[in-house]
Amino acid sequence: MERIQALLALEDGRTFPCKSFTGKGETSGEVVFNTSMSGYQEVLTDPSYRGQMVTMTYPLIGNYGVNPEDVESDRIQVAAFLVKEYQEFPSNFRSTESLAVYLKKEGVLGIEGFDTRALTRHIRKAGAMRAYISTYDLEPDSLVEKARAIPGMEGQDLVKEVSTTVPYLWENGKPAPIEKNKIESGSDIWQSRGKKHAVVAFDFGIKYNILRCLENTGCEILVVPAIFSPEQIKSYKPDGIFLSNGPGDPEPLTYAIDTIKELIGFCPMFGICLGNQILGLALGGKTFKLKFGHRGSNQPVKNLLTGKVEITSQNHGFAVDTGSMEGKNIEVTHMNLNDNTFEGFQHREYPLFAVQYHPEASPGPHDAGYLFNNFKEMMSKRHAV
């Protein structure tokens, strides 16, 4: 396979000569790192990575290829994929094609042949930042200027780029379309009312494994666009509302924040990742950008209710400000043990809770999978009243 000379330039002037294993091209975005040792296909297709170029800290990537079962959305979401050493010949019985072929099909640059440890250490020290990659322009000063010209992550609404535009049901592990007249019929949309919990899931960039976990827990799921109004949600008369993960800065998502404000207390609510941040903002809290974010499948989180430590999968660059949640009638339930940032809460009055990390994993450990059952129990109790 031909490798083509390329250059990665960061906005602060640092550059990394490298090579493309997916052909010619150029792209830009915020450069971040992920500490997972496996699960690169799930990383590539996670909508929370929209607008970002992801560096894997594990050095050998591509050794097990890719397959259609491990995707977390309908396309590759990352702006570019940066690895130390690409493994050209995959060896796995589930593999259907190589990583390079997969990236080429969707026009995503794959870069290798540089010190990813140095890049990671630089990001940890200086913070996540804008970057530019090109196989055409190999002039450092020129590429640095291009990196500085792209918009920063703060203030961007990336959710509208990844959210579904039409509602759909999740059935037997995959999306199922709905007839337009049924979408407008309100609560008549549910086929298993009474047998399964009817859950409306806001798609802010939802991962497929979240939907799999909800379905496996005994939920019938209607996935709706991020822009849906409170009136539309109430017309479906759900047993519960789920707020998904998603990319970027939560503060520009005023349409979602205002909607959730009106839905608090309507029925049980569960939020993950961006859903946690939106719920925090809807309750009157604030969010802030982390220096380099939490991305990987080995983040330690303490459950303050049980005293147990969970190893979790995470992918976020923003977090809820713990101090801003004081006086909001909430109880902090989870805390990150690496930096003591806010990782989860529950409300003392309303049936709602949220976590910053990913209990559905994919990739990652399943220590926090119990939260889906907690959501189910919350809906059962509310239904029994």
Catalytic site residues?
Answer: 273, 358, 360
Would you say 228 and 201 are in contact if contact means Cβ atoms under 8 Å apart? Answer: no
Phi, psi dihedral angles at 262 (to 5 degrees): -75, -20
Would you say 4 and 104 are in contact if contact means Cβ atoms under 8 Å apart? Answer: no
Please list, in sequence order, all residues whose beta carbon lies within 8 angstroms of the beta carbon of residue 282, skipping any fewer than 6 positions away: 257, 258, 260, 261, 264
- 195 vs 218, 269, 354, 378, CA distance in Å? 8, 19, 25, 16
Judge residue 349's burial from the number of C-beta atoms within 10 Å of its C-beta, 0-12 exposed, 13-18 middle, 19 or more buried: exposed
Q: Alpha-carbon distance 71 to 341, whole Å?
A: 29
Q: Alpha-carbon distance 42 to 44, whole Å?
A: 5
- The size of the chain, in residues, is 385
Please list, in sequence order, all residues whose beta carbon lies within 8 angstroms of the beta carbon of residue 192, skipping any fewer than 6 positions away: 198, 220
Would you say 158 and 256 are in contact if contact means Cβ atoms under 8 Å apart? Answer: no
Angle at 107 between CA 101 and CA 109, to 5 degrees: 80
Query: Helices (DSSP H) in the chain: which residue ranges?
Result: 40-44, 99-105, 116-126, 140-149, 159-162, 180-183, 208-216, 230-235, 254-263, 274-282, 370-384
Render the burial of 190-218: b for 16+ CB within 10 Å, e for the rest.
beeeeebbbbbbbbbbbbbbbbbbbbebb
Q: Alpha-carbon distance 175 to 159, whole Å?
A: 19
